[in-house]
Chains A and B, each alone.
Chain A
């Protein structure tokens, strides 16, 4: 990676839930304040702010940067907004990292949020009745379900893999203090017996819809030791996109995701992600996608994602822990979700993840995707200064 070194020294999250007792300004400030406290900084220490949010149609806010500039300490400073559908939180964090790596700023605050409770996400995902575009024939899960079935056919994965992943994520969510309605009494049977929504996706294999915010303070080498906790060094970052309707596109193992992981790992000096990455936080809205994205990110051989699940590798104590936070089963605040994955990866290498900490995690991968598997953002963070 060329440019100056960058590290995460502050992380803040809010509860994932329907947050009816705070405004968007108050919710994003809560995450940002927690990140500043973690970094040992105040608003005035920050040079620039990079903001991401949920798609505009979800909450009806078109210019969040206008009404959040003073709330987020950006008065008189550059404030950038990033917009890439569901992957936005990942892209936003990467943009903040690039501003530091490029040497433009020393201390950047990055914030991403969603206030889904102010709108109606199912209506919004359907496009609001825009003329000339094909309606979402089967609802949001109905877009992804056929690709899951295709993965099952291609890889020979048995039917219960989705249940097993959801069971692991829902148990992990109970260890995450920010999780949306976690249930420590969850059982495998309850997930297996939950209603089939979009076959093969069951109700408890799908994520909830949440409000929430996440923030990080990303700084240059000179400021990396300011916080009480060790920094998470940003070792590699990559974004890729691909057109959703391209003929013969591989929607199960999209080339955009594969290339993003390969590029981020190459920058981090990683040649064998399965051996050199200790754990990963990935954007898994429906549980089956964990097995698919493990392959896409190079964390399992092609066709072996489900086998790693079957072997229990994805558990916190396993060989390749995935979504220690519970992933999206601990809440999906769309605009924030990608940044939460990136932040949770950084928390692991800082030893900051509490009950869902992976012992001795040194290198972690954060992943976000958006649209019809059209946008990908990946970063690799590590505990050792590169």
Chain B
């Protein structure tokens, strides 16, 4: 890993923490669906493999030959730990807030290991390969792998609750079983040096592009000249005015967009720039927008400006005569 302090140019770059989050929904299909719905009834099912062994958790196919498996087998809710690792300092994303093990548990009647949590009340000394464990069912059974809250030593006392299946609106079917799978990962996003120049300009209500070795002024710049691949290094301040070179009329609301439909989204060629970017056009009926229309940016209020594209509210007509399309042919 590179130390940030030794990372050349890092000081000149904007960076922001960012959490990627989305609530994906998984479709299990009939095989995994049957396994998960079995958990809801505190029963564990596997599939007979071609070598005679029993695959738990089951998949629709043999793990070695890839052929389809069809013979269901119910297995026990206790088994043996065949391998394990210890988590001495759980993070917030771990299932338990005290030290615990992750292990492979071969349930009685199964021949493959199930990867799951082994809970020994934080005591690593109790973890042994070959130890006998049993299922600790969750309080609420949802038809999810976490219906098995953990595996605990076989002699552990039973919990002080009776596990209960969560009520469903309609009877579940294995073939159409789905579950929520919220996905979340934390990142630190670096803008890069060239883009940082541009973004800092936006916060001050200025357009800053970058000139590359080919002579083109790029805005927003992504750091490299698209023709030569060399770094763009020369910041160039650009005016607030430009020309519409492409556009469309948007008639459906766009997520996160504040203006009412219909509105015009246009590719704008800023005066002095060689690349275009998309922005909204306001202050003119959509049907009157045209190629060559001269426009000026409307900046967000100073207090609302950020080092982000929100600083550009939209563009409005300047009232100047349109540009001759012949001069813009390379962009049309």
Query: Could you tell me which A residues sit within 8 Å of B by CB distance?
Result: 19-26, 29, 43-44, 57, 59-60, 70-73, 75, 115, 117-120, 122-124, 126, 128-139, 142-143, 145-150, 153-154, 195-201, 243, 245-248
Q: Known A137-B279, A139-B250, A146-B246; judge A20-B24 contact (CB<8 A).
A: no
Q: Mark B1-30, 1 if CB is under 8 A from A, else 0.
A: 000000000000010101010101111111
Enumerate 23 A-B pairs (CB-CB under 8 Å) in ascending A order.
A20-B27, A21-B27, A25-B60, A71-B60, A73-B66, A75-B66, A117-B25, A118-B24, A119-B24, A131-B18, A132-B16, A132-B195, A132-B308, A135-B256, A135-B309, A142-B248, A143-B278, A149-B246, A199-B250, A199-B251, A246-B275, A247-B216, A247-B275
Q: Which residue of B lies closest to A19 (CB)?
A: B27
Q: Which residue of B lies closest to A247 (CB)?
A: B274
Q: Which residue of A lies closest to B269 (CB)?
A: A247
> CA of A247 to CA of B221 in the docked complex: distance in angstroms?
11
A246 x B61 contact (CB < 8 A): no
- Measured between beta carbons, the chain A residues less than 8 angstroms from B178 are 20
A132 x B191 contact (CB < 8 A): yes
Whether B138 is near chain A, meaning CB under 8 Å from some CB there, is no
Whether B94 is near chain A, meaning CB under 8 Å from some CB there, is no
Known: A25-B59, A139-B250, A149-B246; 7 extra A-B contacts, CB below 8 A, are A23-B32, A29-B61, A70-B62, A143-B278, A201-B248, A245-B226, A245-B275
Partner of B183, one of A60, A75, A149: A60
Partner of B255, one of A60, A70, A122: A122
- Measured between beta carbons, the chain A residues less than 8 angstroms from B249 are 196, 198-199
- Measured between beta carbons, the chain B residues less than 8 angstroms from A26 are 29-31, 60
Whether B222 is near chain A, meaning CB under 8 Å from some CB there, is yes
B19 to chain A, nearest CB (A): 9
B112 to chain A, nearest CB (A): 12
Of the four ranges (under 10, 10 to 19, 20 to 34, 35 or more), the interface on chain B belongs to 35 or more
Q: Which of B300-332 contact A (CB under 8 A)?
A: 307-309, 330-332
> CA of A117 to CA of B307 in the docked complex: distance in angstroms?
35
Q: Which residue of A lies closest to B325 (CB)?
A: A153
Whether B199 is near chain A, meaning CB under 8 Å from some CB there, is yes
Whether B239 is near chain A, meaning CB under 8 Å from some CB there, is no
> CA of A199 to CA of B247 in the docked complex: distance in angstroms?
9
B246 x A21 contact (CB < 8 A): no
> CA of A22 to CA of B173 in the docked complex: distance in angstroms?
12
Whether B257 is near chain A, meaning CB under 8 Å from some CB there, is yes
B252 x A126 contact (CB < 8 A): no
B210 to chain A, nearest CB (A): 12
Q: Which residue of A lies closest to B18 (CB)?
A: A131
A345 to chain B, nearest CB (A): 28
Whether B54 is near chain A, meaning CB under 8 Å from some CB there, is no
Q: Which residue of B lies closest to A200 (CB)?
A: B248
A56 to chain B, nearest CB (A): 10
> CA of A71 to CA of B29 in the docked complex: distance in angstroms?
13
> CA of A122 to CA of B255 in the docked complex: distance in angstroms?
8
Q: Which residue of B lies closest to A154 (CB)?
A: B332
B65 x A44 contact (CB < 8 A): yes
B332 x A134 contact (CB < 8 A): no
Whether B103 is near chain A, meaning CB under 8 Å from some CB there, is no
Q: Which residue of A lies closest to B309 (CB)?
A: A134
Q: Known A132-B191, A150-B246; judge A137-B24 contact (CB<8 A).
A: no
B179 to chain A, nearest CB (A): 11
B252 x A118 contact (CB < 8 A): no
Residue of A73, A137, A148 most packed against chain B (CB within 10 A)? A137
A71 x B61 contact (CB < 8 A): yes
